[in-house]
Amino acid sequence: MRLIENWFSERYSDNLQLSFRIKDQLLSIKTDYQRIDLFDTYDFGKLLSIDGTVQLTEKDEYIYHEMITMIPYYFNSKPSRVLIIGGGDGGAARRLVDLGIENIVNVEIDGNVVEVAKKYFPAISSSFKEKKVNLIIGDGIKYIKESKDKFDRIIIDSTDPVGPAEGLFSEEFYKDIQSHLTPNGIVVTQSGSPYYQPTALSMAHNGMARIFKYVKTYCAFIPTYPSGLWSFTMASSEEFKKRDEPTVTGKYFNKDILEGSFYLPEFVKNLIK
């Protein structure tokens, strides 16, 4: 991360970065797990960065959060019990509450992310006030090892595969995940920018494919993430079947996106062959 004359920049490579002109830096803390920065930007409202990478902005967070929750929602049996690993901003839990999910467990490793979200992103983190949402501050990897619970969906809403999130992209973790899913349950993870982080996508896809019979990658356009093209990968032990029911339309998600986001560019297909 670089901060030059009121610009926050996320480095994508040695030769490219995306810069946001900022009105102010609202916070900068070093926690036991990571560095958290918060900026007030001109174009995207408040922006949360962890270890120099954009996690969410007020203006475009809806795309990521709709896509990580609503796509897997419409496949296989209607979910009633969902686990989120990561997601300390509350955005994924918010969408699940709006979809009418009755029982949500959200395991976030860093309580500071939750506190920052409560203070600076009250609308997004309002999910944590809901009775349906059980927020646990702890390591998602440890939780999965120790818990006996089963879930219809497991949403891995994590940072990129470095530091505390590295294990969340491992084959061993996916194996543990499988034992916590109901028979046609679905796990979904954010799998990075296919252009700038091809390894994150292949780690997620290939790791899941070694454990689960059915794996599907889909993409979305997220303007504040590296290259704008972002991937998500979901897996299940049973074939994916879209439920025959009307879809709720979000601000990004709609019935066409539910189908079209699975059509992948050739270079993305090649990464997950």
Could you tell me which of 108, 100, 99 has the C-alpha nearest to residue 135? 108
Q: What is the distance between the alpha carbons of residues 89 and 48, in angstroms, rounded to a whole number?
A: 9
CA distance readout (Å), 111 to 55, 89, 132, 137: 16, 10, 19, 6
Q: Could you say which residues in the range 204-233 bind ligand SAM, by CB under 6 A?
A: none
Cα–Cα distance between 53 and 112 in angstroms, integer? 16
Whether 149 sits among the annotated catalytic residues: the reply is no
Q: Is position 83 an interface residue for ligand SAM (rule: CB under 6 A)? A: no
Amino acid identity for residue 263 in this structure:
Y
Q: What is the contact mask toward ligand SAM in residues 95 to 134, using x (rule: CB under 6 A)?
A: ------------xxxx--x---------------------
- Amino acid residing at 46: K
Question: How far apart are CB 106 and ligand SAM at their closest, in Å?
Answer: 9
Cβ nearer to ligand SAM, comparing 33 with 74: 33
Minimum separation from the CB atom of position 107 to ligand SAM (A): 5
Q: How far is the CB of 227 from ligand SAM (least distance, A)?
A: 14
- Window 11 to 40, contacts with ligand SAM (CB under 6 A): 33
- CA pair distance 117, 190, nearest whole angstrom: 20
Number of residues that bind ligand SAM (CB under 6 A): 25
Q: Collapse the DSSP code of 25 into the 3-class scheme (helix H, G, I; strand E, B; otherwise coil) and give the result.
A: strand
Beta bridge partners of 41: 22, 45
Q: Judged by CB under 6 A, which stretch of 11-19, 48-56, 174-182, 237-245 contacts ligand SAM?
A: 48-56
Q: Would you count residue 85 as binding ligand SAM (CB under 6 A)?
A: yes
66 binds ligand SAM (CB under 6 A): no
CB contact at 8 A, 259 and 95: no
Count Cβ neighbours within 10 Å for each residue of 142-172 and write b for 16 or more, e otherwise: ebbeeeeeebbbbbbbbbbbeebbebbbeee
Q: To the nearest whole angstrom, how small is the minimum distance from the Cβ of residue 210 to ligand SAM?
A: 20
Tell me phi and psi for residue 70, to 5 degrees: -80, -35
CA distance 53 to 10: 6
Contacting residue, 64, 128, 173, 195, with ligand SAM by CB under 6 A: 64
Per-position x/- string for 190-209, each x denoting binding to ligand SAM as judged by CB under 6 A, each - no binding: x-------------------
Q: In what order do the strands lie in the sheet with 45-50?
A: 2-4, 7-13, 16-30, 35-41, 45-50, 53-57
Q: Which of 70, 97, 101, 165 binds ligand SAM (CB under 6 A)?
A: 165
Binding range to ligand SAM, per CB under 6 A, among 69-77, 81-89, 236-244, 247-255: 81-89
Q: Are 231 and 218 in contact (CB under 8 A)?
A: yes
Exactly one of 157, 160, 176, 256 is catalytic; name it: 157
The residues carrying an active-site annotation are 157
| Sites of contact with ligand SAM (CB under 6 A) | 33, 50, 55-56, 64, 85-89, 107-110, 113, 139-141, 157-159, 164-165, 168, 190
